[in-house]
Chains A and B, each alone.
Chain A
């Protein structure tokens, strides 16, 4: 089992002081330790944006990919070696703007990966433009008159796409978030954890204070994650009260179980030379 100290890397962290990503990173590492995983058993896949630097900061297998493509890339990694615990990281721009086309498909397929979205409701690394989850009226470099587009509701999107595990965490509640990570990683199938993660540099609206005044824990209010209708209702709640916790959970076979070849173990460990091509040629004779 990996120790916390083994998960660090020599790379200097360049997130802004106070960034919500710090809490998320530490929480994630702790979750790996508590789950008793080995470093080599874990593969993380990240996209482009502030969140993407996470591949430099955790000493596990890592694939730093391109903007918006975390889900298909992570799907490829998982199908090629399902012995790996695969966790995708994306930002709100990555996951819900450029890459949202992949969300319904990874969700409905129930690909056995965890998808952690660093949702700060703003574009950070490109210096403060509006994001798909920015709320209507949000003022930014690209919306000086206030955003006139309603924000995307990622939890509703995930539920509508048949995701089998839908959760929301808050970077300012690390213990709670760690439990969510642990449940999501242990879940068989696709698990979305949307993490409210304040951007201290660009987003002056959705701050730690903003969330501390509003978040409440679903499990403390008797929420039933087995009820889709209830989950849907909670997913639409955003105002004076913002729910965090597991909104929805459903047991469904993971995607990889549909592929006969994977019953024999991870593809990456199978010898590639065992196919009798001569036999296949008979059909063409």
Chain B
């Protein structure tokens, strides 16, 4: 056992302070140092929508086994200010520890607990001693935390060297800060805390990424060459990553004047024959719906990631939600086939993005990847992605000259509904894509028969799409067949649900989780088969109206008596799922 918390084999560390103190960065660097030692990590940030001042905290959960979400309690709090102690002391497991600055006075009444330990550190003193800026406080605290749990400090230093490569002064300053915090902990509190983290000695090929980064990497792997987006939390990091790698990937990335512009640009690039994508959150997606309909009518393949946050309207801009599922399934006017797919972790973010591109292009439709803040802004360690992915551009034929006997028909009627596509610019042909109902050549029509034929052609693509998705693991099942309770959910709920299964097992309960991955076209048969017939069922969703439940009912007639719905912007925890599962049993 290389990870030992106060009450089990996982360790949760919470770093808290003010916005602007660099908590997400520090937390993820700590996570990487732990991953490099062979441990598994999951880290998430909680922050209000401000740049400086208010309270932020990052929670990192570490274990010898894969970690799918944070737990319900923490073992160690690294408090960069007093507020952190007071806000989070109740989350500490009995026996847990708080690292704080010795200059901060905390009375036992304020603390309100006598089963946890306060360990004062000269955080401010160390900053003064090394002549560091205030922002280095979190690094000193990281060093202190590593010292307390006895981890290899060199791994942390190597992570810092890599993160700030080429900026030697910053590296040196951070190394000193780490060592000072670490040294103080070893000198004054060695063996004082019942928490241990040791490198496992394993050297597995792992990475630590956010869902945003995984989606961006998936897009790169899938051959996406054009990305246009307007910044919007929590999806902005896709834009940041793709711009930062632009020279290496050869992608053309545009920060547009609006989400309206973003999706229309993507439609233009798609028409010209390039794999293209955008990402946004609910408000931006509202603005994109007209262009989504344009893409459907012109049969322009594209991928759109919708990173959900709580609405309506501005809502909770920096928190998580699953409130836009029905919106994604139904968005835009007119009837047309589409893909709605919901990755539940970073690995799925990567692979489903690739799949979304291939499906979009094969059927010349639009793929919507529905994520949420919890999955796209949280860090998770995972086996390095298998980057040899297949790129299937379907009926796109890239030729220099059109060889057809008659003129090129962009919307030729075919059995599958998919028309062969060529690039505008192909010698001897012109490509006409039209938002009006159109003939095979693309010319505008209002003829009744031609309209019916063309609507049927587009909708036929949906039938073959449905059949193909049935073969793509559209529904995943975790846990034993003979479970006492079947949990049903989608998206980021997966993480907490998988941890809940472990928790229930520890209490002698058998649980399984049915994850709906493809929501549209809904995989009716796969879902029915996965659900099985026995045991209690519990539907878990991050919204108020059980939107997946409504979709399931529509397609299968199955309804859920028992639900666990959460709509306060916070992610599910394993404990609350386990507790609700016990209630329904």
Contacts and interface: CB of A to CB of B under 8 A. Distances in A.
B225 to A, nearest CB: 5
Nearest to B272: A80
B273 A268 contact: yes
Contacts of A266: 425
A64 B435 CA distance: 6
Nearest to B162: A283
A77 B265 CA distance: 7
A11 B247 contact: no
A45 interface: yes
A275 B269 contact: no
A171 to B, nearest CB: 22
Contact of B275 (A11, A65, A272): A272
Given A76-B272, A275-B220, A285-B207, A264 B442 contact: no
B272 A102 contact: no
A72 B425 contact: no
Interface string A241-260: 00000000000000000011
A268 B425 CA distance: 10
A178 B249 CA distance: 41
Interface residues of A, number: 59
Interface string B236-265: 000000000111111110101110111011
B268 A77 contact: yes
B256 A72 contact: yes
Query: Which of A45, A264, A277 gathers the greatest number of chain B CB atoms within 10 Å?
Result: A277
B432 interface: yes
A61 B258 contact: no
Q: How large is the interface on B (under 10, 10 to 19, 20 to 34, 35 or more residues)?
A: 35 or more
A61 B430 contact: yes
Given A45-B268, A66-B291, A285-B207, A11 B444 contact: yes
Interface stretch (A51-59, A150-158, A186-194): A51-59
Query: Which of A9, A59, A64, A75 gathers the greatest number of chain B CB atoms within 10 Å?
Result: A64
Contacts of B213: 284
A84 B425 contact: yes
A137 interface: no
Contact of B430 (A39, A273, A285): A39
A60 B294 contact: no
B384 interface: yes
Contacts of A279: 248
B478 interface: no
Given A66-B294, A102-B261, A284-B213, A273 B268 contact: no
Contacts, number: 214
A119 B463 CA distance: 45
A81 B217 CA distance: 23
B264 to A, nearest CB: 4
Nearest to B434: A64
Mostly, the B contact residues are mixed
B426 interface: yes
Contact of B426 (A40, A78, A105, A262): A40
A60 B432 CA distance: 8
A104 B38 CA distance: 52
B53 interface: no
A145 interface: no
A280 B213 CA distance: 11
A281 interface: yes
B252 A261 contact: yes
B220 A280 contact: yes
B254 A79 contact: yes
B40 to A, nearest CB: 14
A73 B427 CA distance: 23
B545 interface: no
B290 interface: yes
Nearest to A60: B430
B567 interface: no
B274 interface: yes
B265 A75 contact: yes
Contact of B268 (A72, A105, A275): A72
A25 interface: no
B80 interface: no
B20 interface: no
Contact of B265 (A11, A55, A60, A76): A76
Query: Which of B36, B221, B268, B385 gathers the greatest number of chain A CB atoms within 10 Å?
Result: B268
B225 A270 contact: yes
A76 B434 contact: no
Interface string A10-46: 1100000000000000000000000000111101010
A62 B220 contact: no
B178 interface: no
Contact of A267 (B252, B291, B294, B434): B252
A261 B246 contact: yes
Query: Which of B248, B257, B276 gathers the greatest number of chain A CB atoms within 10 Å?
Result: B257
B425 A81 contact: yes
Interface string B188-206: 0000000000000000011
A81 to B, nearest CB: 4
Given A43-B424, A72-B265, A261-B246, 4 more contacts: A41-B425, A77-B424, A78-B268, A267-B225
6 contacts: A63-B432, A64-B435, A259-B246, A266-B425, A273-B223, A285-B384
